[in-house]
Amino acid sequence: MSKKTKTKKEEVKDIEDIVDDTIMDDTKEVSEENKFASLDEEFKAIMEAKVEEYKAKATEAEDKFLRTHADFENIKKRLEKEKYSAIDYASEKFAKDLLAPIDALQMALLSVNSDVEAEQIIEKLKEGIELTVKSFNKAFEKYDITEVEYDEFNPEYHNAVMKVDSQDIQSGQIVQVMQKGYVFKDRLLREAMVSVAN
């Protein structure tokens, strides 16, 4: 028997080996396909979980945004209301400070009775008026209201109602103040009415 000729047993064995190898290869392919299929399923599950997670985060962020926006709108409305309230009552402090001068005038009037001589009445009224002027000046000082200066005529602050010929006073100088002018902070409240030297 030569080496080239195989026995039937050997041939069957070879065929069995070939079949076994083919089955093994097919099994390997099937198991690799199954492995890929299971990996694909795992990947899908992970991706779906991530999508749900991001949807939840987006919903949460939207809720936070809407709440923040609502808070902002509420604060805006409250500030607007406070602003109008502040405007409505801005003069309240000033008005309260004007009560003292009125009280001083009323006290001066009450202190005068018919049994007192005219000279004493005039003296009491003068005291009351002086006290009232002091009270007004205190209120003015508190609120930064100042008198216009009267050195030299300034058309921004003075209204020349009369020109006076004078050799003693230089031209353009104020001779007399007929009505005082006032400035609030840096704004003119009222021009002073003055007479000016020619």
- What pLDDT, on a 0 to 100 scale, did the predictor assign at position 105? 80
Is the pLDDT reported for residue 2 higher than 70?
A: no
- What pLDDT, on a 0 to 100 scale, did the predictor assign at position 175? 93
Q: Distance between CA atoms of 160 and 55, rounded to whole angstroms? A: 78
Is the pLDDT reported for residue 100 higher than 70?
A: yes
Query: pLDDT per residue over 28-73, tens digit each?
Result: 666 666 667 777 888 889 999 999 999 999 999 999 999 999 999 9
The DSSP string of 107-145 is HHHHH--TTS-HHHHHHHHHHHHHHHHHHHHHHHHHTTE
> In the chain, where are the structural domains located?
1-90, 91-143, 145-198
- What pLDDT, on a 0 to 100 scale, did the predictor assign at position 3? 53
Tokens 């002073």 correspond to 192
Please give the CATH architecture assigned to the domain spanning 145-198: Roll (2.30)
Query: pLDDT per residue over 87-99, tens digit each?
Result: 878 778 887 888 8
The average pLDDT across 11-36 equals: 71
Query: pLDDT per residue over 120-162, tens digit each?
Result: 888 888 888 898 899 889 989 988 999 999 888 999 999 999 9
| Residue 107 β-bridge partners | none
Task: Give the least confident one: 8-12, 22-26, 170-174.
Answer: 22-26
Question: For the purposes of burial, counting CB atoms within 10 Å of the CB of 104, is it exposed (0-12), middle (13-18) or buried (19 or more)?
Answer: buried
Q: Which of 175, 134, 120 is nearest to 153 (CA)?
A: 175
- What pLDDT, on a 0 to 100 scale, did the predictor assign at position 102? 83
CA distances from 122 to 104, 126, 162, 181 (A): 15, 6, 32, 28
Is the pLDDT reported for residue 4 higher than 60?
A: no
Structure tokens at 174: 């104020």
pTM over 0.75: no
Q: Distance between CA atoms of 94 and 16, rounded to whole angstroms? A: 115
CB proximity list for 192: less than 8 A, separation 6 or greater = 147, 148, 150, 157, 158, 159, 177, 179, 180, 181
Structure tokens at 101: 């001068």
- What pLDDT, on a 0 to 100 scale, did the predictor assign at position 1? 44
